[in-house]
Chain A
Amino acid sequence: QVHLVQSGAEVKKPGSSVKVSCKASGGSFNSYIMSWVRQAPRQGLEWMGGIIPIFDSPNYARKFQGRITITADESTSTAYMELSSLISEDTAVYYCAREYSSSSSRFDDWGQGTLLTVSS
């Protein structure tokens, strides 16, 4: 099993950016498919995008394209998700998750979540 530990809660102003980290331990980080899924208050799960570190080619949900950047640092086994031009509707818990295989939607391991609050 892979253990995923995310960075702490953030409070940001509208129009700013946030960068959330997700450090993995156990297994081979390079071959993971690391995804980001968010959950707005009292809402469902929403996939934002993912990356395979060894290929360094992210795949983003259309909704977030132009506003999201997902990267991975193999040297520290850490994935990052940066979201820009924040609005109040971006207030949510952001999870990193390891996808079992490409195009599977099977997320075997999840981080603990990072609460982002966007407020002026």
Chain B
Amino acid sequence: QSVLTQPPSASGTPGQRVTISCSGSNSNIGSKTVNWYQQLPGTAPKLLIYSNNRRPSGVPDRFSGSKSGTSASLAISGLQSEDEADYYCAAWDDSLNGPVFGGGTKLTVL
């Protein structure tokens, strides 16, 4: 059971906009910034969004993040087939004194 809660799956057709939610508590999302990772099949995770809504260099602006209270969201607009991957949210947890992850959301591009 992951500390952060994500839907196990999401889907969309090419060109659509999809959102993935991430729910936590005051000890993590409520007081810390949220980061998102993309994991393509058979590869290591890659930082996709940091500090709630910042994109590392090289990440397309189709990807965006937001946070409100103890929840966060990742939005992907103009969905492409190469976006098919697992997505994880993460935040530091003050109670556990370490980073915690969501269980991951498998995005399928139909």
Q: How far in angstroms is the closest Cβ of chain B from A110?
A: 4
We find that the number of chain B residues with CB closer than 8 angstroms to chain A is: 25
CA distance A112 to B40 in the complex (A): 13
When distances are taken between beta carbons in the complex, the residues of chain B under 8 Å from A57 are none
Q: How many A-B residue pairs have CB under 8 A?
A: 64
Could you tell me which residues of chain A, from 61 to 120, have a CB within 8 Å of some CB in chain B?
61-62, 95, 97, 99-100, 103-108, 110-113
When distances are taken between beta carbons in the complex, the residues of chain A under 8 Å from B98 are 47, 49-50, 59, 61
Q: Mark B72-90, 1 if CB is under 8 A from A, else 0.
A: 0000000000000000101
We find that the number of chain A residues with CB closer than 8 angstroms to chain B is: 25
Between-chain CB contacts (< 8 Å), 21 pairs: A37-B45, A44-B88, A44-B103, A45-B101, A45-B104, A47-B99, A49-B98, A50-B98, A59-B97, A59-B98, A104-B99, A105-B32, A105-B35, A105-B90, A106-B35, A106-B51, A107-B35, A107-B37, A107-B90, A108-B56, A113-B44
